[in-house]
């Protein structure tokens, strides 16, 4: 029997991580919270023009990219279950500010052997 245990050191080993960066007019806050299994909710406050979200793998290859419209609040749930084990990072470009938040996906398969008594 295979049992998959998802031990995710996502977002610096925490299930929820908050970080922010400042600009001249307002502070834009980025929040990433574990929703369930490999689903994470990304929330941005004060989204500027020409903003985007990119997920890169450990080799720097882009595995996901999207532009986000200018708004006061942006929220999206990301399903990361299709990503293989490895190192990744969320890269959020908010106007001229770029913030990167690394995370790791690691699955462990446990196998169990049971001896059967001979008759």
**pLDDT tens column, 77-101:** 989 888 999 999 989 898 888 888 8
Burial class (CB in 10 A: 0-12, 13-18, 19+), 65: exposed
Q: Is 12 helix (H, G, I), strand (E, B) or coil?
A: helix
Give the Cα separation of 14 and 118 in Å (integer): 48
**pLDDT tens column, 22-42:** 333 344 567 777 777 788 888
CATH for the stretch 3-110:
2.60.40
With 0.95 as the threshold, say if the pTM is over it. Answer: no
Sheet with 27-36: strands ordered across: 16-22, 27-36, 39-47, 71-79
């Amino acid at each position: 029997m295979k049992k998959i245990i998802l031990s995710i050191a996502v977002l610096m080993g925490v299930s929820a991580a908050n970080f922010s960066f400042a600009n001249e007019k307002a502070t834009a806050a980025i929040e990433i919270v574990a929703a369930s299994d490999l689903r994470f909710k990304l929330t941005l406050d004060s989204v500027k023009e020409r903003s985007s979200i990119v997920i890169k793998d450990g080799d720097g290859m882009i595995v996901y990219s999207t532009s986000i419209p200018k708004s006061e609040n942006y929220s999206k749930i990301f399903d990361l279950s299709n990503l293989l084990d490895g190192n990744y990072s969320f890269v959020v470009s908010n106007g001229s500010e770029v913030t990167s938040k690394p995370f790791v996906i690691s699955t462990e398969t446990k196998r169990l052997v049971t001896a059967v008594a001979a008759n």
